[in-house]
C-alpha cells in the first residue's frame, strides 16, 4: 500500500494532468489581453518549477537503482528509454539533478553544488535555458580560482538571469570569465599567441574550402569594426546587383542615426539604396560576414577606404582605465564589445591609429554639450568609452551597432549634452515611444542604486509596476563579500 506521502504525490500528478487538459481544452477568446499575458506568465513559472520536479525524479531513480534492476547500466539510457526522450535531455536531467539538488551521501545531506541557481529555479524565476547558460560559464572558470569568487560569479549570473534572457547571461559570462583572472596569471598573452591560427582545409568536391581557427583579441578588434559596417543587411550582397559595392558607395555613412533632413543629397540617396537592399537581403549573418571579408580583401578596398559607420571612421575604439594603464593589469574594451589585455591594447595602439579613450576610476564622461540635435564625434567617443553599447536591459549590441539616443527627446526640449545622451541599437531604439506599449528612458537619480545610469522603464506587460531597469551586459560586476580577505571588489566593465 502506498504511504500517505506517496499518495499525495500521486494526487498532485493527477491534478497536474487535469490542469493541463483544462489549459488545452478551454477556449481563450473570452480572456482579456491582460489575462492572456498574466496566465501565460503563470504557466511559464510553473513550467520552470517542473524542471525541478524532473530532476527530483531522476535523482530518485538513481537512488533506487532502477536502471540496474532493468538491466541497464546507465541511468541516462534508462530515462531515455522509459520516457522516450533524447539522450541530450536525459543527460541534462541527470547532470542538473546532481548539481542543483540536495543529495544524500550516506547519513550526510550534501547541499546543491550551485545553491543560488537551485533556489532561483525552484522559485520559477529562471528557465532551463538560463540554468544551462549559467552552468556553462561556471564550468569554464579555472579550478585554481578561489571558491569564494566562483560562488560570487554564480550569484551575479543568477541575479542577472532573474530579469535578463539566456543570451544576456552568456554575454555577461564572457566578461565574468575575463575578470576571474584580471592580472593574466592563469591565461597570459603568450598563451593566446600560442593558440592563434587560421586553418583552411583542402578544397572539397563542391569547390568549398572549410575554415576554422582562433583569432587573437588584437585581430578580432581590427576585424569586427569592418564587419559591423560591411556585413550589415544590404551591404556587399553578391546576389543583388543594386547592393552597395563600390568604394564611393561604401565611403558614405549610410547609417540611419540621423534622419534624411540632416544629410546631403548623396547620403540621402545612399541610405535609400541601402534600406531597399536590406529588405531584399535574405543572407545569414555568417554569409554576410563572408561577403564582407571578400569585399574588404578586394584590390580597390583596404583599411584606408572603409569610410564611416555610425558617425565615426571605421576603426577600433579602445577604452581603458587610467589605473589599469598605470599598473599594466586588467582589461581594455573595444567598441565591438570585445576585450583586450592592457598589454595587447598598448601594442595595438603602438602599431596602428585606433581611437584610444582613457577614463577615470568611476568611468564617468566629461561634460560635452552641443547646440545641435546630432551628437558630435567627441560625444559618441565618450559614450563608447562609458556605455560600451546599447543600454536597454538585456541587450548586448556593442557601440558599433548602436545609435545615439536623447534620453529626453530633442523634440521635447532635451539638449544634446552628454548627460542627456545614451546608446540604443536600432531594434531597441524602435521600442522607445510614448504609446502604452513603449519603453521610456530616464537618467537614474542620484539617490538611486545606479546614479547617472540610463534607466529603461518597461511597458506594463513586462512589469506592471514599471520600475526602471539598468543594463549591465556591458558592465557586469562581481561584488566582493565583506570580511573575506584577499578578494578585492571586481568591476566587470
251 has pLDDT over 60: no
Grid coordinates belonging to 52: 525541478
In the chain, what percentage of residues exceed pLDDT 70?
A: 70
Strands (E), 75-228: 103-105, 108-110, 197-200, 211-214
Give the confidence band of 189 by pLDDT, cuts at 50, 70, 90.
Answer: low
Band the pLDDT of 114: cuts 50, 70, 90: very high
pLDDT at 175 over 70: yes
| Domain boundaries of the chain, sorted by first residue | 30-179, 215-313, 369-478
> What are 268-284's pLDDT values in tens digits?
777 788 888 889 999 99
Sign of CA dihedral 450, 451, 456, 462: positive
pLDDT band at residue 141 using 50, 70 and 90 as cut-offs: confident
Judge contact between 236 and 295, C-beta under 8 A: yes
CA distance 77 to 67: 8
Return the CA Rg of the chain: 26
Of 51-65, 173-187, 209-223, 457-471, least confident by mean pLDDT is 173-187
0.85 surpassed by pTM: no
Tell me what the mean pLDDT of segment 206-233 comes to: 81
Ordered DSSP codes for 40-95? HHHHHHHHHHHHHHHHHHHHHHHHHTHHHHTT-S-HHHHHHHHHT--HHHHHHHHH
Strand-pair category, 317-321 with 355-359: parallel
Q: What is the pLDDT of residue 102?
A: 80
Instruction: Pick the closest to residue 389 from 172, 89, 99, 81 (CA basis).
Output: 172
Which tens digits make up the pLDDT trace of 367-398? 444 444 455 666 777 777 778 889 898 888 88
Task: Quote the DSSP letter at residue 254.
Answer: -
Mean pLDDT of 185-209: 73
Q: Taking 60 as the threshold, does the pLDDT of residue 491 lie above it?
A: no
Q: In whole numbers, what is the pLDDT of the chain averaged over residues?
A: 77
Mean pLDDT over residues 165-183, rounded? 76
Amino acid at each position: 500500500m502506498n504511504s500517505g506521502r506517496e499518495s499525495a504525490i500521486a494526487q498532485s500528478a493527477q491534478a497536474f494532468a487535469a490542469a493541463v487538459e483544462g489549459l488545452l481544452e478551454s477556449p481563450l477568446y473570452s480572456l482579456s489581453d491582460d489575462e492572456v499575458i498574466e496566465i501565460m506568465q503563470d504557466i511559464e513559472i510553473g513550467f520552470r518549477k517542473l524542471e525541478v520536479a524532473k530532476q527530483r525524479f531522476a535523482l530518485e531513480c538513481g537512488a533506487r537503482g532502477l536502471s540496474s534492476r532493468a538491466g541497464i547500466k546507465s541511468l541516462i539510457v534508462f530515462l531515455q528509454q522509459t520516457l522516450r526522450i533524447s539522450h541530450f535531455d536525459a543527460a541534462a536531467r541527470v547532470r542538473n539533478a546532481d548539481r542543483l539538488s540536495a543529495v544524500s551521501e550516506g547519513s550526510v545531506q550534501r547541499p546543491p553544488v550551485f545553491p543560488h541557481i537551485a533556489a532561483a529555479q525552484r522559485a520559477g524565476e529562471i528557465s532551463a535555458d538560463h540554468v544551462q547558460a549559467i552552468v556553462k560559464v561556471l564550468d569554464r572558470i579555472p579550478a585554481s580560482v578561489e571558491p569564494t569568487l566562483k560562488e560570487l560569479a554564480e550569484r551575479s549570473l543568477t541575479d542577472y538571469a532573474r530579469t535578463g534572457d539566456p543570451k544576456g547571461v552568456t554575454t555577461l559570462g564572457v566578461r565574468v570569465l575575463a575578470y576571474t583572472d584580471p592580472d593574466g596569471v592563469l591565461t597570459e598573452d603568450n598563451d593566446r599567441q600560442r593558440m592563434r591560427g587560421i586553418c583552411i582545409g583542402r578544397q572539397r568536391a563542391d569547390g568549398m574550402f572549410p575554415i576554422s581557427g582562433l583569432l587573437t583579441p588584437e585581430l578580432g578588434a581590427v576585424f569586427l569594426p569592418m564587419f559591423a559596417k560591411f556585413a550589415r543587411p544590404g551591404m556587399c550582397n553578391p546576389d543583388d546587383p543594386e547592393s552597395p559595392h563600390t568604394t564611393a558607395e561604401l565611403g558614405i555613412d549610410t547609417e540611419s542615426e540621423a534622419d534624411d533632413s540632416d544629410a546631403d543629397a548623396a547620403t540621402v540617396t545612399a541610405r535609400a539604396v541601402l534600406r531597399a537592399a536590406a529588405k531584399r537581403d535574405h543572407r545569414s549573418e555568417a554569409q554576410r560576414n563572408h561577403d564582407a571579408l571578400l569585399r574588404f580583401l578586394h584590390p580597390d578596398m583596404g583599411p584606408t577606404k572603409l569610410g564611416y559607420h555610425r558617425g565615426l571612421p571605421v576603426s577600433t575604439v579602445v577604452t581603458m582605465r587610467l589605473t589599469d594603464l598605470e599598473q599594466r593589469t586588467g582589461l581594455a574594451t573595444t567598441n565591438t564589445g570585445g576585450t583586450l589585455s592592457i598589454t595587447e591594447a598598448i601594442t595595438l595602439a603602438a602599431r596602428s591609429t585606433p581611437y584610444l579613450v582613457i577614463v577615470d576610476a568611476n568611468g564617468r564622461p566629461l561634460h560635452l554639450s552641443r547646440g545641435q540635435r546630432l551628437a558630435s564625434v567627441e560625444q559618441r567617443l565618450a559614450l563608447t568609452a562609458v556605455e560600451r553599447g546599447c543600454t536597454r536591459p538585456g541587450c548586448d549590441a556593442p557601440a558599433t551597432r548602436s545609435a545615439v539616443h536623447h534620453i529626453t527627446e530633442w523634440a521635447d526640449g532635451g539638449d544634446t549634452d552628454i548627460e542627456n545622451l545614451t546608446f540604443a541599437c536600432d531594434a531597441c531604439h524602435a521600442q522607445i515611444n510614448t504609446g502604452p506599449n513603449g519603453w521610456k528612458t530616464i537618467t537614474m537619480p542620484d539617490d538611486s542604486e545606479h546614479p547617472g545610469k540610463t534607466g529603461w522603464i518597461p511597458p506594463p506587460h513586462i512589469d506592471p509596476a514599471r520600475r526602471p531597469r539598468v543594463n549591465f551586459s556591458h558592465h557586469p560586476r562581481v561584488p566582493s563579500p565583506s570580511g573575506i580577505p584577499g578578494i578585492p571588489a571586481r568591476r566587470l566593465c
